[in-house]
Chain A
Amino acid sequence: MASVEDRVKEVTARVLKLDSNEIQPQQSFTEDLGAESVQSIELVAMFEEEFGIEMDEEAALSVSNVSDAAEFIAKVCKEQGVEA
């Protein structure tokens, strides 16, 4: 099974129409990967769908890069009893 970080990259690539192989863990969603306002919302929504979780809107939107997103999602999965 793919790691949380790989799945985050896949979702990010799909939403932002990028190649997942070119996405690096430390890259910022907005500054490096070019996510605009609505795309940031779509990313959070797609992460929720991918992992079957519900995230706090404010906390989720404050996560800035791929690596932090994977860490945050893993934590939420654990809290909500979802296998990541």
Chain B
Amino acid sequence: MSTASSPKEAGLQKDANRQKEHRLVNTTEPNLLEETFDYGLPPLIKFDGPIIEHIDGEPIEFDPTLAKHRDIHITDTTFRDGQQARPPYTIGQMVHLYDLMSKLGGPNGVIRQTEFFLYTKNDRETLDRCRELGHRYPECTGWIRAVKSDFRLVKEAGLKETGMLTSSSDYHIFNKLKFKSRQECMDSYCEVVDAAFEAGVRPRCHLEDITRADFDGFVLPFVDRLMRMSEQVPEDQSVKIRICDTMGFGVHYPGVELPRSVPKIIYKLNQECGVPSDRLEWHGHNDFHRVHANGASAWLYGCDALNGTMFGYGERCGNPPVEGAIIEYISLKEDLCGIQTEVITEMAEYMRSIGFPIPENYPLVGKHFNTTRAGIHAGGLRSDERIYNIFDTAKLLGRPPRVALTDKSGADGVAHWVNEYFELKEDARISKIKCHKVARWVMDQYEVDGRMTAISDEELEDKVRELMPEYYEKYKGALV
């Protein structure tokens, strides 16, 4: 039985008039599409039309090119959601990470805010020490329960804004928080919002579990009420809405029904409830591998803030990775915008040094994120590193592409490893002929000794020292 699907089976009407002949454009010069794949930046994201989503039976056009000009930004929850999923950081560790985060996001505040618990003495000391660094960004905000008495903590800490739990699904309203009715729940939340206003603190309502909520029956009426309440206070105190995809149920592509649809959630809050884009924030979870795509799409559909954690570490499967959002931001803006991308590597190294595991194949920071093992790929890297490297990772992340050696690496792989080890460029690079003894040793590991694992950098360093002593002495110094 054939498994190939026809256009009709794929939901498309077959139309013979749409068929075209596609002719080869012959050339002897490569077209490397460098206007998109500018090697000095992450690959740019260019749009060639609107995104169309049908909402309440009407086709709605979203113009994704606007994201380039809007004040989209990243907010961070490494010290709140991120810390809920691991043993607590020490105060010193958090202060250092905050300092690095500020450096990463740069002077334009691409990483605009980060939030802190306020409950323990250590929480408050951390906050004080981070603020003592004097960084403008990320701005420190708080996180409390939707309990009026918690505002004492926010006021004492002198924070201008705090997040507060205002869970929106009936799973939470009835089964977790034990409210007797939605009305009782909404009244209770609004009392806390009033308390925030009275305290002169901007409330950021975290609509937990929104992708499993009764959208028309609770979310929209609640947000309508929050918007009415906000009319009573100055703009800088008006309610912000954090859209919390608590269980990772959100889906970013068009055509999905509420409450799982990312575009519909944002459109309804933005257009029907009138929450401005700069007061909307997306907070996702990665239970279905959608976390980054959902977050980045939220930007396109009209939500200015994308909330994440460094390296995606958060409850269960984690949150949108801030470093992924940083790269997406550059791709959309087509500019570094003051971001210091190399700090991503510095942060990853620091996290590893304090016992935070990062998988070897994890994008951008894993030990082997830009390592190739196949000899034929290593040959490509040798002739033009762009062939198998995503962008100039040496320049942007301080991580030149690497080759890990196995029986599939070949002499090309060995030569690439040796040249990277000696940090040799262009004409100074050593030919694979000169690396033949190391290449033979590598092959014998597998063919003679029956080895089943990749060869470590440490083993190779020892072998290069032993089998290429003249080069080792020349580029690394004395042999002993």
Contacts and interface: CB of A to CB of B under 8 A. Distances in A.
Contacts of A55: 433
A76 B333 CA distance: 54
Q: Do most interface residues of chain A lie in helix, strand or loop, or is the interface mixed?
A: helix
A57 B375 CA distance: 17
Contacts, number: 30
B467 to A, nearest CB: 12
B410 interface: yes
A71 to B, nearest CB: 19
B375 A45 contact: no
A38 B411 contact: yes
B431 interface: yes
A65 B207 CA distance: 73
Nearest to A40: B411
Interface residues of A, number: 10
Nearest to B444: A38
Contacts of B326: none
Contact of A37 (B410, B431, B433, B435): B410
B443 A45 contact: no
Interface residues of B, number: 13
Contact of B440 (A42, A44, A48, A57): A42
Contacts of B435: 41
A6 B410 CA distance: 29
Contact of A45 (B410, B434, B442): B434
Contacts of A48: 433
Interface string A34-56: 00011001101100100000010
A44 B435 CA distance: 11
Contacts of B442: 38
Contacts of A41: 411, 432-433, 435-436, 439
Interface string B374-391: 010000000000000000
A41 B411 CA distance: 7
A4 interface: no
A63 to B, nearest CB: 13
A33 interface: no
A57 B431 contact: yes
A84 interface: no
Most buried by A among B431, B433, B442: B433
5 contacts: A38-B442, A41-B433, A42-B439, A48-B433, A60-B433
Interface of B: 375, 410-411, 431-436, 439-440, 442-443
Given A38-B410, A41-B432, A42-B439, 17 more contacts: A37-B375, A37-B410, A37-B411, A38-B440, A38-B442, A38-B443, A41-B433, A41-B435, A41-B439, A42-B440, A44-B433, A44-B436, A45-B433, A45-B436, A48-B433, A55-B433, A57-B433
A-B pairs, top 9 by smallest CB distance, nearest first, are: A45-B436, A41-B411, A57-B431, A41-B436, A38-B439, A42-B436, A37-B410, A38-B443, A45-B433
